Structure 1
Amino acid sequence: MKTNLEHQQPFNFFDTQVLGHPAGLFVLFFTEMWERFSYYGMRAILVLFLVSSFGLGGWDWPREHALALYGTYTSLVYLTPILGGYLADKYMGYQKAVVIGAIIMTLGHASMALEFAHFFMYLGIALLIIGNGFFKPNITSIISELYQKHPDKKDGAYTIFYMGVNAGAFLGILLCGYLGEKIGWSFGFGLAGIFMLFGMLQFYFARNIFGKAGLKPTKEEDESDEDKAAKLEFKGDKLNPFTFLDKLLIGIAVVLGLVWIINDPVSIIGNNSVLMFGETDLSTATALTALFAFLLVLFLRIIRYPAKVRDRMVAIIFFALFTVCFWTCFEQAGGSMTIFAKDYTDRIMAGNWYTVFLIANILITVVPIGIITWVLILLFKQTFKNYPIANITLGISFILIWGLVIWMINRDLNSSAYIANYEVVEKTMLDKNGKPLVDKEGSIKKEIIPITEDFELSVDDQVIQKEVTIIEPIDFKVGDKMKVIDVDKKGNFIYLNEATENRIREATEQGESTGIVNAEIKQIKENEIEIPATWFLILNSLFIIMFAPLFSKWWESKRNPSGAMKYGLGLILLGLGFAALAFGSLGIDQGAKVASVSIIWLILAYLFHTLGELCLSPVALSYISKLVPGRMIAMMFGIWYIAIAIGNKLAGTLGGQIDKITAEYSMTTFFLIFTLVPAALGLLAIVLNPLLKKLMHGVR
């Protein structure tokens, strides 16, 4: 049954122009922007929430547990689009799939906002994975269909769309991260859901602007012009239908792969592996069997193709292997690198650096939002008359964005730094035999224990005054009392407002210590601010916006390097980013849980990582479309998503070893692993360049 909206006569997609492109492209731009806002906003705070102490709203998980769940989540969001794209292609159409996916993701974010209950958090993650499967592949498919007869404009359209992706990521990390860290995790998760809802409503009420593009496919419309052109190019090729053995191997790979991906965090977090039979753990065997079945079906299919197609698909397999390595390292951003920013980086800006950071932060926040708002006004002029509800929805979302940004800037400008004294007890550390422990220099080791409000002093206790700096938008005077708490038992104290204090008391079981410490203001310092740990994640989007035009010109010039050279350069730049972190970590003691490394190393890391991404990520899908016939693109895109999913899962698994490697070796060793492996593979890609060029048969 069709609604009245669906019976309306849509105007020609190319009739209305915004910045030289149809207004409908910008409907997709803003829809994708809000979806990326929600995804990256939630991703920015997920690991921090999981490792945050229970009394402060987190789950107080070990880092390995948090990163295991993070890896499974980020891997599955790249697997479900394979199924979602298939269902949209064959049954529901792209438009309906986008709406369904957006609704499911909105419900997922709403569920995660109820983070006090484990069930709702897991349900929310599951809904996000499912919803992303419907949304992610199909909104880009609408662009492809709309520009089918305008291939000369397609590159520009995808460039604009890609800017929407980065704008959404930038705003989501900035605002969800700030709210989650500064106010409460549920506010960050909830904000992600609000803007996902705005994106869905805007798309739904403006969907007629796309005409028939993305509606339920008919048999006559199943084959695109690109598919027909590809058939002409490869007219001598024989079709390669899936045999029973192919389907069986795919089924084995899918089932075993999913079991392993989901079982991994379950076994680590809940110590309840479904792959444990008696004393034998079959986790590794399951993963290897799934991988073997996947590689075998690839081999069996590739050898049945003609030589030219076979060679090109072998080249794609090489690129896929490099892609797995790239994303394994790159996706440390939301995991181990965020932990490094939180616990090992000096995020306090004081004096002149306070002023520099505030000005820079205001500029990099306000200027992009101002530009996007200008684009929004141009879109209003073209579409408000025909789609008022969609435009009003979009307008409300931007009013909310501006309100949040102004509130955030005002909060930072009014934050004050207070030096407060609190009392601790110094006790001699004893071994199991009751003898004092001695360090390498021969000095007796001392343990510093904060005196909490329920601490019972003994006659022999030696009380010492310690200082802590608290940065908050609160008004205190010298001599005022405040309550603070060590959030991670590592000396990281935060101020407790009344609501947080009450939550901690409610969460503390009878007989246990609340951990609340009484402190007294001794000095007020001006011009200090603490950068949120999630703030560093916005650098990726910022650098992409800055450097993407330069790389685009490079790729269009006579000096455009080959695919293998781009991959090699991208992997080497990625390794250089981790080299900066490895060098910056040289002063961190073995096994240390906290440190104060300069922020310059994280900034350099994100700069090199982004440059590497620009070399590799945007060109990857382009090569698939060029190297294989249209009838095989869907399958190869599926392989590509699987490669990225494997990389994301390995990112969580390897990132979860940060504590073990740091304790046994050092933080520098941990980052050196991510330096040497991609750099070596990058050099290998460059060495293999002649072979890969030969396999690609002239495709550049």
Structure 2
Amino acid sequence: MDSNGDTGLNSKKTEVPPPPQYGFFGHPLGLSTLFFTELWERFSYYGMRAILLYYMYDQVSHGGLGINQSTAIALMSAYGALVYMSSIVGGWVADRLLGSRRSIFYGGVLIMCGHIVLSIPGGVTALFISMALIVLGTGMLKPNISTVVGDLYAKDDLRRDAGFSIYYMGINIGAFIAPYIVGTFGQKVNYHLGFSFAAIGMALGLAVYMFSGRRTLPAVSLSPKNPLTSEERSRVLFQVGGGILFAVILIAVLELTGLLGIKSIVNIITILSLVIPIIYFAVMLSSKKTTAVERSRLRAYIFLFIASIFFWIIDEQGSTVLAAYADHRTDLEIFGFSIPSSWFQSLNPIFTVILSPTFALIWMKLGRRQPNTPRKFAYGLVFAGLSFLILTIPAIVSHSGKVNPFWLVASYFLVIVGAMCLSPVGLSATTKLAPTAFSAQLMSLWMISDSTAQGISAQVVHFYSTNTEAAYFGIVGGVVIVLGIVMYLFAPQIHHYMRGID
């Protein structure tokens, strides 16, 4: 850190040319910095998630924590909800206090510390301390690094969607590598050794960010876009203090009444994941800082937000329900070699790495003729639903025993086809539809859609078991497909509210 406390992010050293630039595969050079920073951050996060569920429900004698499997799956979903929920705090801190780039740095430090704690045998206590650090760190880093990607482009730059697709590919290269390193060492040697590799991954990401970012990232991302006024500071301090006091009292009451258990914590997280986005949309829509055009775009964004929730409900179960499915229902003997069940976590990112450049090229080639954003979302929902419907076939044909792993491969492939139509497009749409005063916070709200999805999943996953597989996959998949069809039919109306944004 420099003596002035700016962690090497001094704006005098960070004057880079305004867009357009063409230093990284036809995109601004800063995209390469963010690409590799996020690659290593996702390596650390998805490496940890590849083995965390198994660590929680594995027997204590095998190095696990011995938590009931159903409870562990629900806790994983609630943890994921908190990770993305915290992006609201990270977005606010960036918009009002630190700016996006400084928030990214401090978030990375917290994440690294969280993985270090998890790499030390400390039982359930260490698990929850690690979760708290990673939740706060990801909230600081994740929405803001995506916002800086948007800052690299002008709003009318046709490279924008393709740039987010390239960035999205970097995310998934890290997620692809992680299970083979963290997963193998975690399941074959020791869980804590696996978690230590996750900590190393985040350290590498911080190194790339610090040494490369000074030269390549825009100075505009250093400053908060809607800084607190002196009058607002005292009010915010009072509100934060009141929130902390309320949380302490709530925890104390739950402890005294004997209700402070994993189930009650999961329920609280689910409620928060539903209430927070409603409050946030209400605040932005009613704010005097939001113009009439921005208000119309926010109304359109609500429909995109709801669609993304249903997509993530399916996608995020790849590391919960489908992880357990891989561990217990899938034949892990392939060509005479027994593979770790955590390796299936690499299917999602490897398909993304393969398909990202393909879809980036498609959008670039189509140019103005490509489907509008609501139509892309509709396609994403349909493919996500199909990824669950296909798993009803082995559930019916082979009700008990091990199933062919290629059913799981096909499921992951279909959901990623859907992701190509929705996830990078959603990131891009968020930066384009965001009100000026809430740019980082709307990116946080995009992350909250994942949080809400996992908060809902924390309640839904209890219905999954070997005996309910066919009904579970069929109902969840069918509902999402129906919503995709509805989204397609109403796409023209939604696009109208976007006011000139494609």
Q: How does 1:290-305 map to 2 (within 5 A)?
A: 290=275, 294=279, 297=282, 301=286
Residue 67 of structure 1 aligns to a residue whose secondary structure is helix
1:656 to 2:462 alignment: yes
Partner of 2:449: 643
1:540 to 2:348 alignment: yes
Larger % of strand: which?
1
CA distance in 1, matches of 2:496, 2:432: 15
Q: Using a 3 Å threshold, how does the CA distance of structure 1 residues 307 and 32 change in structure 2: closer, same or farther?
A: closer
Per-residue CA distance 1:323-351 (angstroms, 9 max, x = gap)? 111111211100000100110011112xx
Q: Is the 8 A contact 1:44 1:534 kept in 2?
A: yes
Tell me how far 1:293 sits from its aligned partner. 6.4
CA distance in 2, matches of 1:583, 1:335: 20
Residue 430 of structure 2 aligns to a residue whose secondary structure is helix
Tell me how far 1:303 sits from its aligned partner. 12
261, 271, 278: which one pairs with 1:270? 261
CA distance in 2, matches of 1:138, 1:284: 23
475, 495, 500: which one pairs with 1:693? 495
Structure with the greater alpha carbon radius of gyration:
1
Q: Say how many residue pairs are matched.
A: 476
Q: How does 1:156-175 map to 2 (within 5 A)?
A: 157-175=163-181
Moved more, 103-112 or 3-12: 3-12
Tell me how far 1:10 sits from its aligned partner. 4.5
Per-residue CA distance 1:248-267 (angstroms, 9 max, x = gap)? 9xx99xx89xx89xx9xx99
Structure 2 unaligned regions, length at least 5: none
1:2 to 2:8 alignment: no
CA distance in 1, matches of 2:155, 2:481: 41
Percent of aligned pairs with the same amino acid: 28
Matching residue's letter, 1:322: A
43, 58, 69: which one pairs with 1:52? 58
214, 234, 257: which one pairs with 1:208? 214
Q: Is the 8 A contact 2:51 2:191 kept in 1?
A: yes
Q: TM-score, normalised by structure 2?
A: 0.82
Q: Is the 8 A contact 1:302 1:310 kept in 2?
A: no
Q: Is the 8 A contact 2:284 2:290 kept in 1?
A: no
Q: Is the 8 A contact 1:65 1:268 kept in 2?
A: no
Structure 1 unaligned regions, length at least 5: 225-240, 276-281, 355-527
Per-residue CA distance 1:265-312 (angstroms, 9 max, x = gap)? x9999368489xxxxxx9699669947963893697299977755443
CA distance in 2, matches of 1:83, 1:25: 24
Residue 346 of structure 1 aligns to a residue whose secondary structure is coil
Partner of 2:223: 217
Q: Using a 3 Å threshold, how does the CA distance of structure 1 residues 95 and 649 change in structure 2: closer, same or farther?
A: same
313, 332, 335: which one pairs with 1:328? 313
1:622 to 2:432 alignment: no
Tell me how far 1:223 sits from its aligned partner. 7.5
Partner of 2:409: 603
Tell me how far 1:612 sits from its aligned partner. 0.7
Residue 135 of structure 1 aligns to a residue whose secondary structure is helix
Partner of 2:363: 555
Q: Is the 8 A contact 1:313 1:627 kept in 2?
A: yes
Matching residue's letter, 1:332: Q
Per-residue CA distance 1:496-517 (angstroms, 9 max, x = gap)? xxxxxxxxxxxxxxxxxxxxxx
Tell me how far 1:8 sits from its aligned partner. 11
Partner of 1:88: 94
1:194 to 2:200 alignment: yes
Q: Is the 8 A contact 1:344 1:597 kept in 2?
A: yes
Per-residue CA distance 1:91-124 (angstroms, 9 max, x = gap)? 3333332222222111110111124422111111
Per-residue CA distance 1:643-684 (angstroms, 9 max, x = gap)? 22111222233223313xx44xx3211211221110111111
Residue 390 of structure 2 aligns to a residue whose secondary structure is helix
Matching residue's letter, 1:596: K
CA distance in 2, matches of 1:342, 1:698: 48
Q: Using a 3 Å threshold, how does the CA distance of structure 1 residues 202 and 638 change in structure 2: closer, same or farther?
A: closer
558, 562, 569: which one pairs with 2:379? 569
Q: Is the 8 A contact 1:146 1:210 kept in 2?
A: no
Matching residue's letter, 1:532: P
Q: How does 1:58-97 map to 2 (within 5 A)?
A: 58-97=64-103
CA distance in 1, matches of 2:499, 2:218: 37
Q: Is the 8 A contact 2:270 2:455 kept in 1?
A: no
CA distance in 2, matches of 1:690, 1:147: 26
Q: Which has the higher contact order (CA 8 A, sep 6+)?
A: 2
1:178 to 2:184 alignment: yes
Residue 397 of structure 2 aligns to a residue whose secondary structure is coil
Tell me how far 1:30 sits from its aligned partner. 2.0
